[in-house]
Amino acid sequence: MRRFCLTLAALTLIGCGGGHGHSHSGEGIEISNARINPPLPGQSTGVAFMRLDNHGEDDRLLAITSPVSGRIELHTHLNDGGIMQMRRVDGIALPHGETVELKPGGFHVMLFETTATLGEEAVLTLDFEKAEDLTVAAPIVLRGETDHGSHSKSSDHGSSTKH
Ligand SMILES: [Cu+2]
């Protein structure tokens, strides 16, 4: 590919993107292991986790929406003098080529007044600063359970699984 780029550059006087081998947002962001923990008994707030692999350019996860919650916030955990505190964040940085894990004790997704029901699935729609929105069907499982099934992979067609 290198020789082709040099030839093309010589012929047309345009570069080949600086030689980083980066492509643009086409390779995109991959979501895996998305899952939702339903509220504990007597509570109404659920929490979602997932893994994000950014194969595209530097980006940010800005927001998440879902039919099972009218208000979803992105949170992180901070260790404040030995006490773990949750803080809302405006977004989660997704650097090019890196994996960001939303997991217990770190970044997580809070679903307020959620109707998420154990054993069902809910669609999460992720809004990014640059990349196109992605939807993922997340199984609703008890805390500690994970789902390694292929159906939790990100897909533009995932929303068809939700009634
Ligand atoms: Cu939180």
Give me the number of domains the chain comprises. Answer: 1
Look at residue 18 and tell me if it is in a domain. Answer: no
pLDDT at site 161: 37
| Alpha carbon distances (Å) from 43 to 29, 46, 64, 138, 161 | 32, 8, 21, 20, 27
C-alpha of residue 57 to centroid of ligand 1, in Å: 27
Look at residue 9 and tell me if it is in a domain. Answer: no
C-alpha of residue 65 to centroid of ligand 1, in Å: 15
Look at residue 74 and tell me if it is in a domain. Answer: yes
By residue range, what is the domain housing residue 43?
26-161
Look at residue 44 and tell me if it is in a domain. Answer: yes
Q: In a 3-state reduction of DSSP, which class is residue 100?
A: strand
| Amino acid letter, residue 76 | T
pLDDT at site 22: 42
φ/ψ of residue 133, rounded to 5: -55, 145
pLDDT at site 84: 87
Look at residue 6 and tell me if it is in a domain. Answer: no
C-alpha of residue 88 to centroid of ligand 1, in Å: 7
Look at residue 148 and tell me if it is in a domain. Answer: yes
CATH assignment at residue 34:
2.60.40.1890
C-alpha of residue 86 to centroid of ligand 1, in Å: 5
Which pLDDT tens digit goes with each residue over 15-54?
A: 444 334 443 444 799 999 999 999 999 999 999 999 999 9
Is the Cβ–Cβ distance between 130 and 25 less than 8 Å?
yes
Look at residue 79 and tell me if it is in a domain. Answer: yes
| Amino acid letter, residue 162 | K
pLDDT band, residue 146 (cuts 50/70/90)? low
Looking at 13-136, list the stretches that DSSP marks H as alpha helix, in order from N- to C-terminal side: none
- Closest alpha carbon to 50 in 158, 113, 120, 138: 138
C-alpha of residue 75 to centroid of ligand 1, in Å: 5
C-alpha of residue 56 to centroid of ligand 1, in Å: 27
Sign of the dihedral defined by the CA atoms of residues 143, 145, 151, 154, in that order: positive
Look at residue 150 and tell me if it is in a domain. Answer: yes
